[in-house]
Amino acid sequence: MILIRGTVRRCGLLLFVLMASLPGVSSGGSLERFAGLEGKIDIAGGTAHIPVMNDAAKNVMDANPKIRITVAGGGSGIGVQKVGEGLVDIGNTGRALSKEEAEKYGLKSFPFAVDGVAVIVHPENSVKELSSQQVRDIFAGTITNWKQVGGQDAGIHLFTRDEASGTREVFWEKCLKKGATANTANVVPSNGAMKVAVAQDKSAIGYAGIGHVDATVKAVYLDGVVPTQENAMDGSYSVVRKLYMNTKGEPSRLVQAFIDYILSPEGAEITRKHGYIPISR
């Protein structure tokens, strides 16, 4: 009998370990919070958030087919507007809400990640480093040729984001110091579109969340500091922002479960996978 009880105990432990290793199942039960829930969650706003939201949504819907989650972009301004007007359940922003936005709509914010914003150029551009002042002069249209900053004799092609972009606002405030951007700048709608535009133009310069930087573009050193998430977190890289989920008032039980999942250890792994640094609760 003792042998049998020991065997049962060992089998039970083995089953627990196997279950914990299955996709969507963890010893912390982070997806168990959705058991018995049903309904729809609509999410829109900051484009930097999309990869994290998509992966989290897929995991949740796989675990509970009675839940449907839609994820759309549009930029931080759209996220604020849509959640404020009740058109979506979560409005994502790549910046903190203004006092006016929070008070106008009665919004509540949930920060979940830290992201830096990098200056990006084409991989074949010989320029590897710029000072903040050089970047300001480039975007203001004072510096117009790459040879003025140690590069080839070629005109600089500016790319920027629209005014609804949280990435743009952080870059404008923390790198450009609220300086002007030349009206010749090409406007693109998302981090992904920015990356594609710069990757296709050897004379281009733009900016994107560090989490979006890959081999198709080159992030230049800014004031001698390499733009990495680690440097963004420890403060040595200064062009930094937080990523937020925002709700109109207190979230519903289902929406709160999704927010809690993003903030859980499993959600943190999703955030980290996409190049961001998760914020622990």
CB 52 within 8 A of CB 92: no
What is the model's pLDDT at position 29?
54
- The gap between the terminal CA atoms of the chain, to the nearest Å, is 46
pTM for the full predicted model: 0.77
**pLDDT (0 to 100) of residue 9:** 38
Q: What are the chain's domains?
A: 29-115+242-278 (3.40.190.10), 116-240 (3.40.190.10)
**How far apart are alpha carbons 93 and 55 in whole angstroms?**
18
Report the chain (281 residues): mean pLDDT per 10 consecutive residues: 38 36 44 96 95 98 98 95 98 95 97 96 98 98 98 98 92 96 96 96 96 95 95 93 96 98 96 90 69
How many Cβ atoms from other residues are within 10 Å of residue 215's Cβ? Answer: 7
- Which structure tokens are listed for 179? 């300086």
Which residue do the tokens 């627990």 mark?
16
80 CB-near residues (< 8 Å, 6+ apart): 45, 91, 93, 97, 101, 105, 107, 246
Q: What is the pLDDT of residue 280?
A: 72
pLDDT at position 233, please? 87
Element (H or E) spanning 133, and its range? helix 132-140
Task: Quick: pLDDT tens for 79-123.
Answer: 999 999 999 999 999 999 999 999 999 999 999 999 999 999 999
pLDDT of residue 30: 86
